[in-house]
Each structure stands twice: as structure tokens, then as C-alpha cells.
Structure 1
Amino acid sequence: MGLSPVMEPMSKLLKERLVAADRLLFATVDDDLGSFISISVKRAVLGRPTVALFLGPQSCFGTLTAKKFFKRGIFIALRHAPGISVASIVPLCLAPEYARVVRIGLHDPQWWDMHDGHTLRQPGDTPVASEVRQLAGGGRPIVCWLGAVSVHKGFAFMVDSLEANPDLARQICFVSAGVAGSEQALTSRFRSIGGIHLDRRLKDSEWESLYGVADAVWACYDPRYDQASGTFGRAVQFGVPAIVRRGSLIHMAAMKFGAPVVSVDFGDCNAAANELGKIAKADRGTAATKEREIRIGSWRNDFILSTMRALGGAKPTDVEFCEGAA
């Protein structure tokens, strides 16, 4: 986009630099809302366009509290401020209520970042992937948890579901790849029922390669964590089925875009174990790759073009890009 990347703690000097920039894109406003408001309003007065990605617009909705009421009011006001374009990383056709607090609905960059504008990159092979293939044996499907162990992202639910059906971990190879952190007890339970835990931070090439061997990846999160997901997005790009919470935002996205998923009701361990038991060795082939490549590329292009229009001072269009399955 012709922008200079900046990643550093907010300071008086940095604020002055950001206010003075001809064009400004905030990769996220969620962690320092106060600074974003201060900078973007000053820029609006000076006639300088600002675009910002709002990762958690769902935090403005749900059961009304004073904090939510105040936060929603701020974003409603910003939505009507000239020169300030706040964008969700979820298309508004999937969450139309977000239109109250954002001006643009985009596809999460983690849903299209494997596309370079021409082709959609597919996973390579690494020693980690080879090790997982070997541990799984020839016939067992592989289910991967990718990232740090997290209860709100459903790791405890996954473990509970495996414990509800001890035979499941013998039928399917469950692999967790990411640091355990403070959840050592939970990962010990995972190992005790036959799960494989790689307790370290993987390189990009390594986690990508695990999508290449996975027959499904875990993206079934707590209902309180209902937002865009990088794990789900990479699964869509690589053509790997994602395990999702039925009725979640990413479940609706999968239905809209024709992406393969295994949907389960969060918290129902017996039903989840039954659905997980149906996972089979995937035959991803290349039949749908071209269609998928075109669709993912269109999301990337829309993100760039919509952002560039807003950075140029143009008012976002009323009709956003949100097509169904190719």
C-alpha cells in the first residue's frame, strides 16, 4: 500500500509522527483505543485520512453494560466523523450489526495472507510434519491444534471430549503444537489420553506444514470468543476442514463461502466426541484449488482496494464485497 510500517510503544513523539502522516492505517485499535481516538480526531481536523482495523467489534454488543454502552457510543461517533474509516475484519454480511460501529467490512488478512496476488501458496514439508506423520502411523487421521494452549479457544473442551471417549485418541492422532504456558496440567491430561504435544513456538514454515498433514484443525472456541480466526482462515486457504462451534461467526462464514467444517456444540463432550470420530483421512487433491485460489485472491484485492480508497479520502461504498461459494 506504499506505507511505512511502525511497531513500537506509543509515545509523544510517535503520536506527533502519526498525526503528521499523509495517510495512516492502524493495524488494530483494540489495545490502545485512547491513543487512536486522540490521533484520528486530530487528523480529521487537519483533513488527513485514517483507516483502522477493529478486531473485536463484538465487544460493543451483547448484554448491555455501562462499558459496552460507552464503547459503542464512541465507535458510532467515529463512524460519522469525516476522514476516519474504522473497518471490521469480518464482512458485514456475516455480522450486519457491526455496521453500527464500523464503516467498512473486510475479510480478515489471515483469511487471504497465503495469496500473493497471483497464486495461493500451499504448505511445504518440514521435519515437524514428517514426525507427526510418523507418529500418526499410516491409517489414522490427524487433528491439529495450532498455537498456544488456550482455554477460551477450546483446548479444555477438546481434552474433555477425548476423555469422554477414550477410544477416540486411538482412532485419530491429536496433535497440539504450541507453548503450554500456564496450562501445564491441561496439557498433561492431553498427553495422558494419547495426545501429542509439541511444547514450543513453531516457525511459520513448520505450522504451515502441519496444515499439509492435518485432516482437520481445531477452531472450536468458547462462545465468548466469537470472532475472526487465523487458524480457521489458514484452513480455508489450504483446503483443510476446520472444527468449529455450531452457530459461531466462522461457522456462518464457512457456510457462506463453501468451506469444509466439522461443526459441534461447544460444551457437549459426548456429541463432540461422536462428530470427531467421523473425521477421516482427507483427500484434498487439486480439484477445487483454482476456484479457491480465485476466491481468496478476490478477498485480498477487495481488502487492498477498499483500504486504499479510504486512505485516499474516498467515502466507503454502500455495497461491500461478500460473495458466496465460487
Structure 2
Amino acid sequence: MPLVYTRGETGRRPSYLRVLERLFGARRAGLRDLFLSRAPVLFLMVEEAFLLYVAVGLLRALTGRRTAGLLLRPMPLAASPRWQCRWKRAVLQRLKPCRSVQTLTILPFSVFPGFASIADGWIHDFQLWDLAEEERKAVNLLRAERRSGDRLVLTAIGSQSAQKGFDLFADIYARSAGLRGRYQFIACGKVVQEAGEHAAVLSEAGGVMVDRTVSDAELLGAYAASDTVWCLFPRVGDHATGILGRAVQLGIPVVVRQGSLAHRLCIIENLPHIAAAVEDAAERLAGPLPPRDEKRGRLAALRFAEESEATLRAALGLAVVKAASVA
């Protein structure tokens, strides 16, 4: 039974922990467990406890105990010229020969080959393959009950901020009568204080604002209502995201920024998407929209699960199974 270390349970961490518990019977580790337990240890986010990860990994390696860590945002560590990233990059590169310590990214090396310089392997983001069958059924049921309208629905899901491209989302809707005629824009999630002006712009243009923290059930409802999901994030938000992952699992096409990591992932994995630059987002959305394909999303999630579980088992020294246990 592996142990999982994380400093908190905010953001994507709770869903990651649920998957690891379901797959391996994993439980959270305290600081004492990291040094004394013989069970393999997985750091859920290396970035939040970098020095602790390195120290624990090296000390445990002396007695042959396994330690693995996930890099949730590997791009800065792999490519940034900032000294804070350069020294961490050098440490990870020197850690690679130690086979008892396995650093994994949550994006494939094919998306950005430079990740291979700092990590031993990769998995697919859990949120590309973590939906339970009951959740899929709930979305499909809600989808079947949806009233067909004259307009398509484009939804921005999660906290609404400039980091999620909410400013562009609101601006192109307000500026383009053509988009307003073709789409209903919906923002589903708490708007940060700095983005209040953009929320007002979206509302005034006829967009729908759900400005509050939404429950898991409401999030599934948002996906059920969506014909496409907004993932056109600026460079600061260019990393693996559960918003894209859940859409992919459900076969919903996503809108991504041209040349981003999300765009590269969509191309490599043949995922339905629209790629747009900031300056031509409205024009690209006016073009053909890939169809929603739930079966295709399910098959992709099964493949991602199988590949990722095998990698995690190898990194943690767990027994290998023939098939993934997450549907």
C-alpha cells in the first residue's frame, strides 16, 4: 500500500487522491512516514515541496525504498531561464541515475521532449482518465434531457481569471455579433476579484454567469450542457488541466491556444479540438465545430488509464497488472 504526500487538499489534489486510493489503496503520509515507512511513497506535487522530495528520495534510496514524485507543471523546470528553475533543473538531472527515485511528469514527453531531461517518465494527467462509470451515466442522462436550441453552448469551467483566458472569453463574445448568434457563452465558476469587469462585459453581452463555487454534480451538469469547452489559456496557464481532461473523457471538443501544450496534446492523441490564436479566436469559432463523441472519449480514457497505471506501478515497485482498473 503506497503512501501519498501532499501539503494540502486544494485544487486537483482531492480527485488525484481518490484515484490513487481506488487504484492502489493508497493513503496520505505524514512527515514521519516519509522517513520511517518501508512502503513506497508518492509525492503528489514535487513543486510544492521540492527540497523535501529530494531529501526524502535520497535518504530512502540508501535502504532501497522507492520514492516517486509528480511534476504537475514541468515546463518552467524544463525550460525557464530563471535561476530558481535552473538550479532545480540541475538537481533533477543529477537525480535521474538514482533508480529508487522516479520523477514523472503528467504530460507525455512527446508533447515537450525537454521534459525527458528532468524526469524519468510520464503519466497522463489523472483527470484525463478518472471519471467513474456513475459519473459518465449522470452526464449522459443530463445530456439526453437537454433541450435542443438554436445556438451551440461554449462553456468556461472552473475559477474565472486571466490565467484561464476569461478576459478573452468575455471580450470576443461582446465584440462579435456573429458569435452571439451562433453560441451561448456560459462561465461556470467563481470569478476572481480582478476579473469582475470582464464578468460584467460578458453578462451585458448576453452571456451566462454562474459566479460561485460549484459542486461536483453541477460541474458534471456544465459538461453535459456543453458543445465545446474553453481551454484557450495564456502562457501562464499553459499546463495540464482537469478542465480539458474531463472534456476529453466525455468526448467534448475543446478550444485551445495555437501552439500550447494543450494543442500539442490534442494533435498527438487525436483529440477533438479547435486551435486558435488570441487574435483569431472569434474567426476560428465561426468555423466548423468537431462533433461530440462520447465513445471516442471513453476509449481514450481507458487507454490513458492503462498506460498511466502501468507507469505508476513500475515507479512505485508495485505488482504489475494486465489491465487498468479505472473505467
Residues 101 and 15 of structure 1: CA distance in aligned 2, closer, same or farther (over 3 Å): same
Match of 1:323 in 2: none
Q: What does residue 283 of structure 2 align with?
A: 274
Give the structure 2 partner of residue 303 of structure 1.
Answer: 308
Query: Which residue of structure 2 lines up, in the alignment, with residue 322 of structure 1?
Result: none
Contact kept in structure 2, 1:115 and 1:300, CA below 8 Å: no
Alignment CA distance shift 1:285-1:293 (3 Å): closer
Q: Residue 274 of structure 2 aligns to a residue in which SS?
A: strand
What one-letter code is carried by the residue in structure 2 that aligns with 1:275? R
The match for 2:32 among 16, 29, 44 is 16
- Note the residue ranges of structure 2 that are not aligned, 5 or more in a row: 9-28, 320-327
Match of 2:23 in 1: none
Cα gap change, 1:5 to 1:35, in 2 (>3 Å): closer
- Give the equivalent residue in structure 1 for 2:262: 250
Matched, 1:162 2:161: no
Q: 5+ unaligned residues in a row in structure 1: which ranges?
A: 315-326
Among 211, 230, 233, the alignment partner of 1:218 is 230
Structure 1 contact 142–172 (Cα < 8 Å) conserved: yes
Partner secondary structure for residue 224 of structure 1? helix
* 162-171 vs 104-113, greater mean Cα deviation: 162-171
Q: What amino acid does structure 2 have at the position aligned with 1:302?
A: E
TM superposition outliers: structure 1 runs of 4+ over 4 Å: 4-9, 125-130
Alignment partner, residue 99 of structure 1: 116
User: Cα–Cα, structure 1 residues 285 and 57, in superposed 2: closer, same or farther, change >3 Å?
Assistant: closer
Would the aligned equivalents of 1:240 and 1:260 in 2 still touch at CA under 8 Å?
yes
- Counterpart residue identity of residue 312, structure 1: G
Please tell me whether residue 25 in structure 1 is matched to residue 42 in structure 2: yes
Alignment-mate amino acid for residue 208 of structure 1: L
In 1: Cα distance, 2:253 partner to 2:74 partner? 26
Which has the higher mean CA deviation after the structures are superposed, 25-34 or 83-92? 25-34
**Structure 2 counterpart SS, 1:30:** helix
Pick closer, same or farther for the CA change 1:241–1:305 going to 2, 3 Å: same
Paired residue for 1:320? none
- Residue 209 of structure 1: how far off its partner (Å): 2.0
| Superposition TM-score, scaled by structure 1 size | 0.82
Over 3 Å counting, the alpha-carbon distance change for 1:148 and 1:49 in structure 2 is: same
1:66 aligns with 2:78: no
Is this contact kept in 1: 2:257–2:277, CA < 8 A? yes
Distance 2:247 2:112 in 1: 21
Q: Which structure would you say has the larger RCO, counting Cα contacts within 8 Å and 6 or more residues apart?
A: 1
Residue pair 2:78, 2:117 contacting (<8 A) in 1 also: no
Seen in structure 2, the aligned counterparts of structure 1 residues 62 and 46 have a Cα distance that, compared at 3 Å, is: same
Shift of 1:162: 2.0
User: Hey, which of these two has a bigger chunk of helix by percent?
Assistant: 2
Q: Is the 8 A contact 1:88 1:106 kept in 2?
A: yes
Quick one: percent identity of the two aligned structures?
25
Partner of 2:276: 264
Partner of 1:124: 139
CA displacement, residues 222-268 of structure 1 (integer Å, 9 cap, x when unaligned): 023322121111111111110001111111111122211111003x1
Q: 1:120–1:237: 8 Å Cα contact kept in structure 2?
A: no
Letter of the structure 1 residue corresponding to residue 109 of structure 2: L
User: 1:170·1:194 contact (CA, 8 Å) conserved in 2?
Assistant: no
Matches of 1:292 and 1:148 in 2, distance apart?
A: 24
1:312 is displaced (CA, Å) by 1.2
Question: Quick one: distance in 2 between partners of 1:64 and 1:207?
Answer: 37
Superposed CA RMSD in Å reads 2.7
Give per-residue Cα distances to partners, 1:69-93, cap 9 Å, x unaligned: 1121011122222310000001112
**Which letter maps to 2:224?**
G
Distance 1:200 1:120, change over 3 A: closer
User: Does structure 2 retain, via aligned residues, the 8 Å contact 1:126–1:206?
Assistant: no
- Kept in 1: contact 2:155–2:186 (CA 8 A): yes
Q: Which moved more, 1:24-33 or 1:271-280?
A: 271-280
Count of matched residue positions in the alignment of Structure 1 and Structure 2? 297
**Using a 3 Å threshold, how does the CA distance of structure 1 residues 5 and 126 change in structure 2: closer, same or farther?**
farther
- Following the alignment from structure 1 to structure 2, what is the Cα–Cα distance between the partners of residues 45 and 221? 43
Check the 8 A contact 2:153/2:184 in 1, yes or no: yes
**How many angstroms apart in 1 are the aligned matches of 2:288 and 2:224?**
16
Q: 1:19 to 1:227 in 2, by over 3 A?
A: same
8 A contact 1:129–1:210 mirrored in 2: no
Any idea what SS the aligned residue of 2:305 has? helix
Q: Spell out the pairing of 1:193-204 with structure 2 (5 A cutoff).
A: 193-204=205-216
Q: Name the SS for the 1:31 alignment partner.
A: helix
Alignment match, 1:78: 95
The residue matched to 1:160 in structure 2 has which SS?
A: helix
Letter in 1 for 2:31: K
Q: What amino acid maps onto 2:118 in structure 1?
A: V
List per-residue Cα deviations over 1:115-173 (Å, max 9, x = no partner): 56xx993552799997xx67xx7211000000011202211111222233144224310
2:204 alignment counterpart = 192
CA deviations on 1:24-57 (whole Å, 9 max, x unpaired) are 1111111121222222221112221001111111
